[in-house]
Structure 1
Amino acid sequence: MSKSKRDVDHAFFGQPRGLATLTFTEFWERFSYYGMRAILLYYMIASLEHGGLAMNAVLAASIVSIYGSLVYMSSVLGGFVADRIWGGHRTVFIGGIFIMFGHIALAVPAGVPALIIAIILIVIGTGMLKPNISEMVGGLYSKDDMRRDSGFSLLVMGINLGSFLSPIIVGWLGQEVNYHLGFSIAAFGMFLGLIIYIIDGNKYLNKEDFQAPDPITRAEMRPLVWKIVGIVVALVVILVVMGLTGTLTGNGVVNLITLIAILIPIWYFITIIRSPKVTKVERSRVVSYIPLFIAAVFFWAIEEQGSTVLALFAQNQTQLTLGGFHIPASWFQSLNPLFIVLYTPFFAWLWVHMGKKQPSSPKKYVYGLVFAGLSYFAMMLPVGLFGTHVRVSPLWLVLSWAIVEIAEMLISPVGLSVTTKLAPKAFKSQMMSMWFLADSAAQAINAQVVKLYTGHTEFWYFAGIGIASIVLAVLLLFITPRVERLMAGVN
């Protein structure tokens, strides 16, 4: 798609028509993912007689966090495959197939083995799909197209419409009828997404996405194979040592993955910055991305605890009866996307209305971190006022999610957009993988942090994380002028 064609394409609410294809594909992918995640924790901790796996709640929360970390960690694989082998279009399609079969595995009542198989399939599939759809959206616009941020806002709105409906449908079926029935509906959602992608993809997507932008050469293949063999051997050795030392347990594996999730983005930043394929200006922009990456990690650590810490709060400490009607605890997972859907039109209008007068991306991050911290201050109040043994009004959770989603609107679509703008040409999809590695690192850290969440520590748990978020916002504000200079003309 040429630049001129990009500029005149306004078929989808003033945006390129290809945005509709990618948005609806993401709608169904997120429907399947968030529907499954809305009931996953409850499925793991439910008793055997209630169709669950009877896991300890703390271990289950850590596993859910580390599962989320693996999902986004695998985006490195998806970005590499798209950049060097298949291109974005084919990589997204194959990823969707993996996701669908992962949900089918969960729909089978086969206990822990089915859970493990499902996790592996969904991790691989989401890693192939997520970063490349976002990169393909960026490819619909020229670098100076002022519609970019509003376009990504519409993408996020579509994502969250699917995310809103899925906990209500999948959550009710899973918690009130049968967990495996809920998982089967998630599989069907991904199937619908693939159908839409096949029908519209060839007609409306950027043709550049049908081939790898930096195809791997024969000379590069041999050292790549040796790197893969080295990684596999190292992993096997580590697991053998853990087995011999008695640390090859659920918590031991969680700790290992946490370490890997933190080290991968560090290694990736070093690799991109040192690459001879990256120009001086591109290198400066990648360096400017580092503090934004750190801020994103902290934000996602708070936001992603909605499926663990706040999910446990909803189940154990929230009034779940309204006028005789029982509210499934999984329904609270719809609050996140609900507020994004409500906020998106305003923020999409705001950035277009402000034009070049809008705050820079680093300043939007600053404001987002402040709101993220305030959302946890909101959770301090019911704990401080009523203690941990009284079921409180669900409005406290509504308030907390209403605040944190302002933070998400300031960080998530902006982060997606700025990542595509700061990406070196040779690392387009792989740089987008860095955006998802922020979420991966955040959830890996959460796998450790959630262990501190108990009835005795709740107040200080919420207080400590809230204060830390605001302190980080102040530090980012202090270095923002330097970051803006390193961005080399990118806003």
Structure 2
Amino acid sequence: MSNINKQKIVDSVPQKGFFGHPKGLFTLFFTEFWERFSYYGMRAILVYYMYTEVSKGGLGIDENQALAIMSIYGALVYMSGVIGGWFADRIFGTSKAVFYGGILIMLGHIVLALPGGIAMLFASMVLIVLGTGLLKPNVSSIVGEIYAENDNRRDAGFSIFYMGINLGAFLSPLITGELAKTDYHLGFGVAAVGMLIGLVLFVLTKKKNLGLAGTGVANPLTSLEKKRYSLIVGVVVIVVGALLAYLIPRGLFTIDTFINLIGILGIGIPTAYFLVMYNSKKTTDVERSRVIAYIPLFIAAAMFWAIQEQGSTILALYADKRTQLEFLGFTISPAWFQSLNPLFIILLAPVFAWIWVKLGNRQPSIPKKFSLGLLFAGLSFLVILIPGYISGEDALVSPLWLVLSYFIVVLGELLLSPVGLSATTKLAPAAFSAQTMSVWFLASAAAQAINAQLVRFYSPANETMYFGTIGGAAILLALILFLISPKIQKLMKGIN
């Protein structure tokens, strides 16, 4: 990390001041709180804004295409983390990456807050994708820097930080969903204000609370590399610009073409990563075996996230079009359902942590936890098809069905997501430790790329087949994973 060693960074950070944790955790907690507040607040209403008629304040995009665009948006957000990590490691460090990322995110929300057409929507998406790629992975990296390697507060610190993520994600849909009833742009404006608050807080407190954390550049570019990469980027920009200038006016590059392209990249990039890691001379035979063990876990994760991420697309549409929103004397905003996932995580995460401690060595293996997580994801889709099957495609169903579906998938998320992060750090080849973490996040990108194709097949008329097919496929894959888990465990070479 340049000439700044890890202990020197820790020593520069006040080690008490935020619930017994380093003061820097205060800065990072609220920076991430407000970033997630802005992102999830925007996401909760974006799909409605896209397909709502122009006369009612929306963009009037076809529903299925709006759902596909939403999925591709999610895929690009997860893919961009790889680029953001590279810029932080090679050019300007994690602290500046967080700052620049926050500015881009705020500008993206401001663009959405201004009345405009589809061009403004895509401009906003570009800014938020780039900004999230810079901010999201790097703010987490700084959390790790403020603790000494042997500090027993580290895991608890990440748990507190994770709580900030979910608190922001829980509160924002409640606010933006209500504002969107009046004007979508008000909701997007609140998202912009949220990111501004996060930025101001980060700038005002980072020097005092974070010390040297985030200021080092892990592997700075040499002068020769700067020239080479500048040339490569310049050539790529010119070639891509020329291709788009030729193809777009002739109707050869459309939104559907772009969706298909991202779908290919969503599968192709992680596949390339696995091939490179497996065939590398730096990978030992034991590590090569672990790479093979990781592949079925990655596939299971992609299947899980393909279902979980439809909470902001298909289930968001279901909340708007198929759900009775008058309940117990209240009018529910369909965006409010987006708060259920983080709410259940906040309530259930301590319960799961207690269960694993209580079980100790008797807890299920990593592959079996994955299979159970995938099982719950499949069940969440089977549950949501029941009311439509009973009542028919034209009837509005009780909102409690959606609540139950979100609850079940969160059970799966708590079985799979934290376990997957831990497994990734354990199974990664030493030469590819950081890149393997990127691969884990690419499971979500692959899932969203797949969703961009799947959501096109959804309609109220075939929702029983849609939910049943995807839910059934997840359950079948969970069963297969459970049956082969001893074989996967053997390939993991001692990792539990």
Task: Give the structure-1-normalised TM-score.
Answer: 0.89
**Residue 113 (str. 1) matches residue 125 (str. 2):** no
RMSD across aligned positions (CA): 3.2
Q: Which residue of 2 aligns with 1:80?
A: 86
Q: Which residue of 2 aligns with 1:410?
A: 415
Q: Measured at CA, do residues 227 and 10 of structure 1 come closer, stay the same or move farther in structure 2, by a change above 3 Å?
A: same
Q: Which residue of 2 aligns with 1:25?
A: 31
Q: Which residue of 2 aligns with 1:165?
A: 171
Identity of aligned residues (%): 53
Inter-partner Cα distance in structure 1 for 2:70 and 2:243 = 23
Q: Which residue of 2 aligns with 1:334?
A: 339
User: Mean alpha-carbon deviation: is it higher for 457-466 or for 211-220?
Assistant: 211-220
Read off the aligned partner of 1:129 and give its amino acid letter: L
Deviation at 1:404, TM superposition (A): 0.3
For residue 52 of structure 1, the aligned residue among 35, 58, 68 is 58
Q: Measured at CA, do residues 488 and 319 of structure 1 come closer, stay the same or move farther in structure 2, by a change above 3 Å?
A: same
Inter-partner Cα distance in structure 1 for 2:206 and 2:283 = 31
Read off the aligned partner of 2:264 and give its amino acid letter: L
Inter-partner Cα distance in structure 2 for 1:141 and 1:484 = 32
Inter-partner Cα distance in structure 2 for 1:428 and 1:192 = 34
Inter-partner Cα distance in structure 2 for 1:246 and 1:18 = 51
Read off the aligned partner of 2:324 and give its amino acid letter: Q
For residue 439 of structure 2, the aligned residue among 434, 437, 442 is 434
Read off the aligned partner of 1:109 and give its amino acid letter: P
Q: Can you give the 5+ residue segments of structure 1 that lack an aligned partner in the other structure?
A: none
Inter-partner Cα distance in structure 2 for 1:206 and 1:383 = 56
For residue 373 of structure 2, the aligned residue among 368, 377, 380 is 368
For residue 345 of structure 1, the aligned residue among 320, 344, 350 is 350
Deviation at 1:157, TM superposition (A): 2.5
Read off the aligned partner of 1:389 and give its amino acid letter: D
> Is the partner of 2:78 in helix, strand or coil?
helix
For residue 457 of structure 1, the aligned residue among 456, 462, 475 is 462
Read off the aligned partner of 1:475 and give its amino acid letter: I
Task: Give the structure-2-normalised TM-score.
Answer: 0.88
Inter-partner Cα distance in structure 2 for 1:27 and 1:173 = 20
Inter-partner Cα distance in structure 2 for 1:444 and 1:104 = 26
Q: Can you give the 5+ residue segments of structure 2 that lack an aligned partner in the other structure?
A: 1-5
Listed as ranges, the matches of 1:203-242 within 5 Å are: 205=210, 207=212, 209-221=214-226, 223-225=228-230, 227-228=232-233, 231-232=236-237, 235=240, 239=244
For residue 45 of structure 2, the aligned residue among 21, 36, 39 is 39
Inter-partner Cα distance in structure 1 for 2:146 and 2:228 = 34
Q: Which residue of 2 aligns with 1:300?
A: 305
> Is the partner of 2:49 in helix, strand or coil?
helix
Verify the 8 A CA contact 1:80 1:429 in the aligned structure 2: no
Per-residue deviation, residues 413-441 of structure 1 (Å, max 9, x unmatched): 33334334445566555433323221111
> Is the partner of 1:476 in helix, strand or coil?
helix
Per-residue deviation, residues 101-136 of structure 1 (Å, max 9, x unmatched): 111111111222221111010000011111223334
Read off the aligned partner of 2:444 and give its amino acid letter: D
Q: Which residue of 2 aligns with 1:178?
A: 183
For residue 391 of structure 1, the aligned residue among 396, 399, 407 is 396
Verify the 8 A CA contact 2:23 2:209 in the aligned structure 1: yes
Inter-partner Cα distance in structure 2 for 1:424 and 1:3 = 28
Deviation at 1:326, TM superposition (A): 1.9
Inter-partner Cα distance in structure 2 for 1:416 and 1:15 = 23
Q: Which residue of 2 aligns with 1:320?
A: 325
Per-residue deviation, residues 237-287 of structure 1 (Å, max 9, x unmatched): 764675487442222221122112221222233344555666666655555
Inter-partner Cα distance in structure 1 for 2:119 and 2:352 = 44
Verify the 8 A CA contact 1:131 1:433 in the aligned structure 2: no
Deviation at 1:347, TM superposition (A): 2.0
Q: Measured at CA, do residues 5 and 139 of structure 1 come closer, stay the same or move farther in structure 2, by a change above 3 Å?
A: closer
For residue 381 of structure 1, the aligned residue among 377, 386, 406 is 386
Q: Measured at CA, do residues 288 and 190 of structure 1 come closer, stay the same or move farther in structure 2, by a change above 3 Å?
A: farther
Per-residue deviation, residues 369-390 of structure 1 (Å, max 9, x unmatched): 1110110110121111111110
Deviation at 1:64, TM superposition (A): 1.0
Number of positions where the alignment pairs a residue of Structure 1 with one of Structure 2: 489
